[in-house]
Amino acid sequence: RLPDPPLPPATLRFVEWAAAYACEPPGEALALALRGLRAPPPPPERLLRATGALPARPTPARERVLEVAREPMRPTALAAAAGVSSGVVKGLVAEGVLELIEIVTPAAFPEPDPALAGAALNPSQAAAASALATMVRGGGFKVALLDGVTGSGKTEVYLEAVAAALQADACAQVLVLLPEIALTQAVLARFAQRFGAAPAEWHSGVSPPRRRRVWEAVAGGRCRIVVGARSALFLPFSHLRLVVVDEEHDGAFKQEDGFVYHARDFAVARARIEGAAVVLASATPSLESIWNAQAGRYAWLRLSARHGAARLPEMALVDMRAEPPERGRWMSPRLIGAVAEGLARGEQSLLFLNRRGYAPLVLCRACGERMSAPDTDSWLVEHRYSGRLVCHLTGFSMKKPDACPHCAAKDSLTSIGPGVERLEEEARELFPDARVAVFSSDTVMDAEAARRLVARMADGEIDILVATQAAAKGHNFPGLTLVGVIDADLGLKGGDLRAAERTFQLLAQVAGRAGRADKPGRAMIQTYTPEHGVMQALAAGDRDGFLAAEGEMRELSGLPPYGRLAAVILSSLDGARLEAFARELISVAPVADGVEVYGPADAPLALVRGRRRKRLLVRAERRVNLQAYLGAWRARVKVPGAVRMSVDVDPYSFL
């Protein structure tokens, strides 16, 4: 048994629920809940205090030490306060007049002040803030969807819900979940401004010792507000009263490795167990949340206009079939002209391409060989900054060779397609006097680097920002008036059931970075399929129409949120053993009303790190207890030692 605070009962109930929902042993979820204890406890502080005994030979110096040592103090601080040398202090310790004690001081987190004045709210914001405050003060489990267009001031609204929770209960704790570490610093600054104290951080960029201090403070009720990534949901809150999920639609809330879960859905479940309120905030809510709001399960609060003088950007589609770029370029003439106009007016532009590196494919002109990662069905991406070829799936990297490894042809490897590095190169060639920067996970490695780049952009030190989705949400760039989307069709490829929804969300979010201050903004979306429903909805600004059409398609197909899905993923180093077990597994699948099982089939990424992969998909009606079905199915087989089997309830990735 560890000498640490026990998990609060509600936290333990949540851990057990999470494990059952994910069809995993409880230890998998428990490991997340105990993550903060991985670092060793801080060493105790060594202090001196008076024992009450008198020195054998009193002197004025010794008397000053005894006068000061009524409260425990560090030896050096005690000597300095008494104005004596360290030798005087050591002599008193040797005589037993002073004793050395060890004290473990709990980490202190500043107390937030909810009484401080918040930002001035417009009538729409004030009405939403009042509704949230009333919901929070009423206590108990309730969920609200805060649905506001980009730039409508959703953060200011939910800050008032946080203030209401802190005012209603002197012990209340609040958790705010963010999808990206890059957003953390800006949100922390907003909290510090509103409450006079910065909240605690919880994400992978926080050092293990600091995470331990946060974990212990949360368990002890000494930390009132935590802002963090999805794993913060498993912290041992002793008095959780409000959970905010910012950008609730974001796919980053889905944990794909290890213990698989969706933080948005688990946040609602944890709040129900804790008897807490939930605020789900987004400019492009997920179809699941919209469905729950339409059914009346969630309160639906809408902010339909931007804050202050800002207006939503004008959206324009660029048909790349009719307006193709020049040979060797990726920006259309119309987009190039728009960037030039903005530069002439002293305004900023953002060029969006959700593809890291210089080029997504490297092939040999001589033999056609495509450079791929060893033992993995994943193409190597060229990164020209580092001169390396990188697999973004496994992390494998190698120096770009001078000759083709397959046919040995010299200087035959050529880069196919654009990445942000190639787009930056094009922007520098077209606009040599412009200040150009790249915002991606390869150039911004941690939260501090993201904060610096965002600050440079906000201060007008960058003219053209070339970015992946790292810059697509949550950031406010007052001087940004133009967003150019280079390859809008990229996210529509593949068999992902949420491809259209995710593409709409991502492009709407990135377009929403433009025109957030007093200058009007516009977004130019380069596409080869302007007739696609996603593109038409973006151009018309018809989000509700798009969601209605998408929902109708899902309902006809029995797909989430109208039905339920689970994926079963099998992998093995032995292809024959994998094939045999996959056939055995499908042969014993229980026959149940309202359940269909598809597969097994090779996964789109059929080889990863030398392991062959197969997938099965279970589709069930909502009335079906999917976890019970999966449990009964697993009980019918014994998984061979050479095969790994994992279950993903509510899958978001189909690779």
Q: What is the pLDDT of residues 589-627, one digit of tens each?
A: 999 999 999 999 998 888 888 899 999 999 999 999 999
User: 262 with 118, same domain?
Assistant: yes
Those residues with Cβ within 8 angstroms of residue 53's Cβ, 6 or more apart along the chain or in another chain: 95, 96, 97
3-state SS, one letter per residue, for 330-343: CCCHHHHHHHHHHH
Quick one: 3 exposed, middle or buried, by C-beta within 10 A (0-12, 13-18, 19+)? exposed
Q: Is residue 372 in some structural domain?
A: no
> pTM higher than 0.85, yes or no?
yes
Q: Is residue 363 in some structural domain?
A: no
Residue range(s) defining the domain that contains residue 632: 563-649
Whole-angstrom CA distances from 265 to 60, 157, 161, 499 are 68, 22, 20, 20
User: 99 with 17, same domain?
Assistant: no
User: 430 with 534, same domain?
Assistant: yes
Those residues with Cβ within 8 angstroms of residue 640's Cβ, 6 or more apart along the chain or in another chain: 577, 581
Residue 441: predicted pLDDT: 79
User: 127 with 210, same domain?
Assistant: yes
Strand partners, 362: 415
Q: Is residue 571 in some structural domain?
A: yes
User: 217: which 2 tokens?
Assistant: 């403070």
Q: Is residue 381 in some structural domain?
A: no
User: 240 with 274, same domain?
Assistant: yes
Last residue of a domain, one of 524, 555, 586: 555
Last residue of a domain, one of 103, 129, 147: 103
User: 537 with 638, same domain?
Assistant: no
Residue 556: predicted pLDDT: 92
Q: What is the CATH number of the domain that holds 177?
A: 3.40.50.300
State the number of CA atoms in the 13 A half-sphere of 303 facing the CB: 34
**Residue 293: how many other CB atoms lie within 10 Å:** 20
Last residue of a domain, one of 555, 590, 607: 555
User: 83 with 219, same domain?
Assistant: no
User: 247 with 299, same domain?
Assistant: yes
Q: Is residue 405 in some structural domain?
A: no
CA distance 434 to 57: 77
Q: Is residue 322 in some structural domain?
A: yes
Residue 495: predicted pLDDT: 64
- The angle formed by the CA atoms of residues 166, 172 and 177, to the nearest 5 degrees, is 85
Residue 281: predicted pLDDT: 96
Residue 653: predicted pLDDT: 82
Those residues with Cβ within 8 angstroms of residue 64's Cβ, 6 or more apart along the chain or in another chain: 82, 83, 84
Q: Are 247 and 282 in contact (CB under 8 A)?
A: yes
pLDDT averages per 10-residue partition of the chain, 655 residues = 83 97 94 89 86 89 89 90 91 91 83 92 94 95 94 92 95 94 82 94 89 92 94 96 96 91 97 97 94 96 78 90 92 96 94 88 88 85 87 87 90 87 94 93 77 88 91 80 92 80 91 83 94 93 92 92 95 94 95 94 88 94 96 94 94 85
Query: Identity (one letter) of the amino acid at 570?
Result: L
Tell me how many domains the chain contains.
Answer: 4
Q: Is residue 72 in some structural domain?
A: yes
User: 506 with 612, same domain?
Assistant: no
User: 218 with 195, same domain?
Assistant: yes
Residue 516: predicted pLDDT: 77
CA distance 179 to 244: 12
Torsional sign, CA 165, 169, 170, 176 = negative
Q: Which of 186, 173, 175, 164 shows the shortest CA–CA distance to 114?
A: 164
For residue range 252-296, what is the model confidence (pLDDT) as tens digits?
999 988 899 999 999 999 999 999 999 999 999 999 999 999 999
CA distance 289 to 281: 10
CA distance 68 to 82: 6
Residue 151: predicted pLDDT: 83
User: 213 with 275, same domain?
Assistant: yes
Residue 308: predicted pLDDT: 64
Q: Is residue 375 in some structural domain?
A: no
Q: What is the CATH number of the domain that holds 584?
A: 3.30.70.600
User: 537 with 620, same domain?
Assistant: no
